[in-house]
Amino acid sequence: MILTIAIPTYNRNETLKKSIVHLLPQITPDCQLVIQDNHSDTPVAESVNNICKCYPGVSVKIVRHRWNLGATANILRCLEVCETEWIWILGDDDIVAAGAVDTVLKNVSNNDDSIYFSFLTQAHKDTGARRLSYRSRGRSEFIQMLDCAHLLNFMSCSVWRAEPFRQHISTGFDYAYSMGWTFALLLTTLRDSEVVVFSNEVLVLKSTISPIVNRWSFRRFLLGWPTLLEINLSKTEGRILGRKLLGRMITPETIAAYLLVDQTKYACPDRFLTYDLVKGRIAPYKIHRLSWLRFAIYRLLFIKPELGWSIVRRAIQVANRLGVKSIDLSDMEGRAA
Average pLDDT on 187-199 reads 95
Query: What number is the average pLDDT over the span 121-134?
Result: 92
Question: Which residues share a beta bridge with 60?
Answer: 33
Please state, in angstroms and rounded to a whole number, the distance separating the CA atoms of residues 294 and 59: 54
pLDDT in tens, 226-254: 999 989 999 899 989 998 988 777 888 78
Taking the C-alpha atoms of residue 168 and residue 163, their distance in angstroms, rounded to an integer, is 9
pLDDT of residue 217: 76
pLDDT at 336: 45
Q: Is the pLDDT of residue 119 over 60?
A: yes
Question: Mean pLDDT throughout 42-62?
Answer: 96
Task: Look at residue 268 in the predicted model and tell me its pLDDT.
Answer: 57
* Average of per-residue pLDDT across 86-100: 97
* Band of pLDDT at residue 172, cut at 50, 70 and 90: very high
Statement: residue 267 has pLDDT above 80 = no
Output the pLDDT for position 248.
73
Residue 18 has pLDDT above 80, yes or no: yes
DSSP-derived letter for residue 83 is: -
Task: Please report, for the chain, the start and end positions of each structural domain, with discontinuous segments joined by +.
Answer: 3-210, 218-336
- What pLDDT sits at residue 59? 96
Which DSSP state fits 238? H
pLDDT at 209: 58
Average pLDDT over residues 113-139: 95
Would you state the pLDDT for residue 320?
A: 73
Q: Is the pLDDT of residue 110 over 90?
A: yes
pLDDT at 263: 53
CATH number, domain 3-210: 3.90.550.10
Rounded to the nearest 10°, the torsion over CA 139, 140, 144, 146 is 10
pLDDT at 51 over 50: yes
Which helix (H) or strand (E) segment is 172 a member of? Answer: helix 169-174
Average pLDDT over residues 14-23: 96
Q: Which residues pair with 118 in a beta bridge?
A: 158, 198
Q: What is the pTM of this model?
A: 0.87
Give per-residue pLDDT as tens, 130-149.
999 999 999 999 999 999 89
Burial tier of 287 (Cβ tally within 10 Å: 0-12, 13-18, 19+): buried
Lowest mean pLDDT among 9-13, 79-83, 245-249, 286-290: 286-290
On average, the pLDDT of the chain sits at: 88
